[in-house]
Amino acid sequence: MALFDQIINAIDNPTRQGSSDQLAGILSTVQQLSNNAHTNPSTIESILSVVGHHARSALQQKRQTQGYEQTQEFVNQYSGTQPSTQAVDFLFSTPQIQQIVQEAERRTGINSGTIQAMLPFLVPLVLKLLQSGTSAQNPQGSNSVLNSFLDADNDGDVDIADALQMAGRYIGRAG
């Protein structure tokens, strides 16, 4: 998987911000959300996959209209393991949010209110995963993970849930 390969390359590259601790923090947040929703982590990963698909379109649009540097700055500013309603509101319009919630509800069976409440956690997590390829010395420079994510052709090759499952296995081996 190209996205996961880029994430692992970023972790292995000391000039990039990615680290095993960063992946572990993302996976820990997924586990906490899973516990809070009384579901399993794979259900949260499915919701993250929906969010990631829509985030890719929104970030591609942002890159097209505002440029790569502004897109990278957005990722840097709003990535994290803490909730951010601003990240959701600045990335998605209200109709897009409704579409994400409905699609995630159909895919997982989790009620729309719970999914809506998770979005401020999930969007920063997706951005945190994408931030792993950011240069440690030049945060506005090229980001291999973000580039791989944005340049995907929507053929299903880039999937956040798959990347997180592989990250869990990687962390299990690395720990």
| Residue 94 pLDDT > 90 | yes
Dump pLDDT digits (tens) for 35-87: 999 999 999 999 999 999 999 999 999 999 999 999 999 999 999 999 999 99
Number of domains in the chain: 1
pTM: 0.89
Q: Which long-range contacts (CB under 8 A, 24 or more apart) does 88-92 make?
A: 88/119, 88/120, 88/123, 91/55, 91/58, 91/59, 91/62, 91/123, 92/54, 92/58, 92/123
- The first and second tokens of residue 6, run together, are 């880029």
- pLDDT confidence tier of residue 163, bands split at 50, 70 and 90: confident
- pLDDT confidence tier of residue 157, bands split at 50, 70 and 90: very low
By CB neighbour count within 10 A (0-12 exposed, 13-18 middle, 19+ buried), where does 138 fall? exposed
Contacts of 37 (CB under 8 A, 6+ apart): 43, 44, 110, 114, 118
Dump pLDDT digits (tens) for 114-125: 999 999 999 999
| Residue 12 pLDDT > 70 | yes
The pLDDT of residue 156: 46
* Alpha-carbon distances, residue 74 vs 116, 128, 166 (angstroms): 21, 11, 26
Q: Could you tell me the residue range of the domain that residue 59 belongs to? A: 2-174
The pLDDT of residue 122: 96
